[in-house]
Chain A
Amino acid sequence: MKTASKPAALPPAALGAPEVPRPAGRRTGGPWRRRLADQSRAYAFLIGGLLCFALFSWYPAIRAVVIAFQKYTPGSGGEWVGTANFTRVFHDPEFTAAWRNTLTFTLLALLIGFAVPFVMALVLNELRHAKAFFRVVVYLPVMIPPVVSALLWKWFYDPGAGLANEALRYLHLPTSNWSNGADTALVSLVIVATWANLGGTVLIYLAALQSIPGELYEAAELDGANIWQRIRHVTIPQTRFIILMLMLLQIIATMQVFTEPFVITGGGPENATVTVLYLIYKYAFLYNDFGGACALSVMLLVLLSAFSALYLRLTRSGGEDS
């Protein structure tokens, strides 16, 4: 007996009634057996995702910590060595360079990558024409594969045929070594990363700016506030939460930078662009030292998880407030 011909909306009383006739094919065992059947059905839906999380998220996280204290060779298992990996990694001259570069990169990316998109969004929000055009164009670099933008900028930075120096010459400015100079390489990479990623940030700021109630600006203007004062006392306080969120996200993202140094500079010149993730890669695939790689991973993990935890905490409390 099929009940599908019945109207979908049952009278509410029927829904709550205990003696709703069960459709054919449903189990009619005791409540305990029914619960077991429900559970197995729920887990049948869950199992695929659960296995993937267990294998590729939870297990590697535990494993990183375990291998960090082992001398590990793939295939033959690990041998406990205490904190030897950490001390070895710590005494590597590249270790200091990698952390210094990563932190400098993050700081520079924060300065440039925060200021530029914010100003862009501020200006774009005032424009009344061609809004769709601006939004598409600013997001275009984000859709270009990161490897392609890295190769593209490597070509721009080329000391011979590069466009970057050509532009400087055209403006009668002194040329630069860009990614080939030890003191300019890191900044050059920050420019690439900012160019490639700011589109998303601009769009998020734009959405935040549009949610500011217009009356606030009106009231400020009546009180005699000029443009700068309106930005300082209305715009920035109103978007403070988004600014903080994006800053945290940017810290988390830029501390994991890999593609740009790998593709553009190969970590050079003179280790000027070796980042922590690059060093992890080197330990694993060049030195075949998985213990060292995992020791570095754990360090990066601890630092970044702190920022992530802060981020998640803030999003949750922010979500409840608004």
Chain B
Amino acid sequence: MSTRTLVSPLALARPRGKALYWTVFTGVVLLFALAFLFPVYWMVTGAMKSPDEVSRTPPTLVPQDWSLSGYTDAWDLMDLPTHLWNTVVQATGAWMLQLVFCTAAAYALSKLKPAFGKVILGGILATLMVPAQALVVPKYLTVADLPLIHTSLLNDPLGIWLPAVANAFNLYLLKRFFDQIPRDVLEAAEIDGAGRLRTLWSIVLPMSRPVLGVVSIFALVAVWQDFLWPLMVFSDTDKQPISVALVQLSQNIQLTVLIAAMVIASIPMVVMFLVFQRHIIAGISAGSTKG
């Protein structure tokens, strides 16, 4: 089934339409390759050039002698394993805590009818109106000296994990999904002797696989891509995620090594995107038009 768009299929079938279509098509392919694929190619091959070649004018399109030493140097000199591991720890923890706490809270708000539930939900939704970055300084002060217990989460992955849980968007997404699960299903489970936790675990969560996938991707990408918050939280170089480390080290390092490190830093997210692209693209498209 083909849907009618701006240009009618009839116009496209005519010889002139066909010629025009293929001209436009080729133009767009070239433009996209140049604008979006070429920079990636330039980065990957730039790291393989010699330090002398990479700064030569005019630049060479293909490295003269391919060398992997840029990549190996980046791996060793910039201590990438440590920073990549830090990023993995930060992203995984934020993702898991978000899944646990946001799912539990969304389930409670949606199905357990807590007193003041409406007020709490209102308070959570109100944070959607407050742009995250504008609050980054008072949030930093809070993390540096937690009220009542007076501990500092600076230079601690918890400083990334716990604030990540306060994600109104993901919580609301989960709550809206749980709202659609009919009461009867949960009541049936309850009559069968399942407790609240059991119902959540074996009835609600399996039914919520699509929304959990979306939330997971959002959560992982957000932490992996963030820069300002980890820049504030981690002053200790050994604990910095790769995004912060890259900028800190970019000043006094050889260009080829820096470029190699940039490529390495991009690989995890790009691979994840290529693996889950169908879901990610569908999520973006659907979430926006139905919102």
Contact = CB atoms under 8 A, between A and B. Distances in A.
Contacts of A53: 123-124, 127, 165-166, 168
> Looking at chain B's contact residues, is the secondary structure mostly helix, strand, loop, or mixed?
helix
B196 to A, nearest CB: 6
Contacts of A208: 288-289
B284 A235 contact: no
Identify which of B46, B227, B259 gathers the most chain A CB atoms within 10 Å of its CB: B227
Contact of B142 (A59, A124, A245): A59
Contact of A56 (B8, B144, B166): B166
A45 interface: yes
A125 B5 contact: yes
Interface in B36-63: 36-37, 39-40, 42-43, 46, 54-59
B85 interface: no
A156 B35 CA distance: 13
A112 interface: no
Given A127-B28, A204-B288, A235 B6 contact: yes
Contacts of A293: 137
Interface string B77-112: 000000000000000000000001110111111001
Which residue, of A203, A312, A318, has the highest number of chain B Cβ atoms within 10 A? A203
B7 A140 contact: no
A15 B192 CA distance: 12
A207 B192 contact: no
Contacts of B145: 74-75
Q: How large is the interface on B (under 10, 10 to 19, 20 to 34, 35 or more residues)?
A: 35 or more
Q: Please classify the interface of chain A as helix (H, G, I), strand (E, B), loop, or mixed, using the class held by over half of its residues.
A: helix
Contacts of B36: 137-138, 140-141
Interface string A291-305: 001100100110011
Nearest to A256: B133
- Among B100, B139, B162, max chain A CB count under 10 A is at B139
Interface stretch (B66-74, B207-215, B265-273): B265-273
A285 B54 CA distance: 35
B227 A258 contact: yes
- Name, among A43, A156, A169, the residue most crowded by chain B CB atoms within 10 Å (CB to CB): A43
A293 B139 CA distance: 12
Given A24-B193, A49-B105, A126-B5, A64 B138 contact: yes
Interface in B232-264: 232, 242-244, 246-247, 250, 255, 258-259, 262
Top 8 A-B residue pairs of the complex, sorted by shortest distance between their CB atoms? A214-B4, A49-B105, A207-B285, A42-B112, A42-B114, A45-B108, A52-B165, A60-B138
21 contacts: A6-B191, A20-B191, A43-B114, A52-B163, A56-B162, A57-B166, A59-B142, A137-B33, A139-B277, A144-B266, A145-B224, A145-B227, A161-B56, A163-B42, A169-B58, A209-B5, A256-B133, A297-B138, A312-B125, A318-B291, A319-B290
Given A55-B142, A74-B144, A206-B285, 13 more contacts: A3-B193, A46-B104, A49-B105, A52-B163, A64-B134, A127-B24, A136-B277, A141-B36, A143-B221, A145-B225, A146-B225, A147-B244, A245-B291
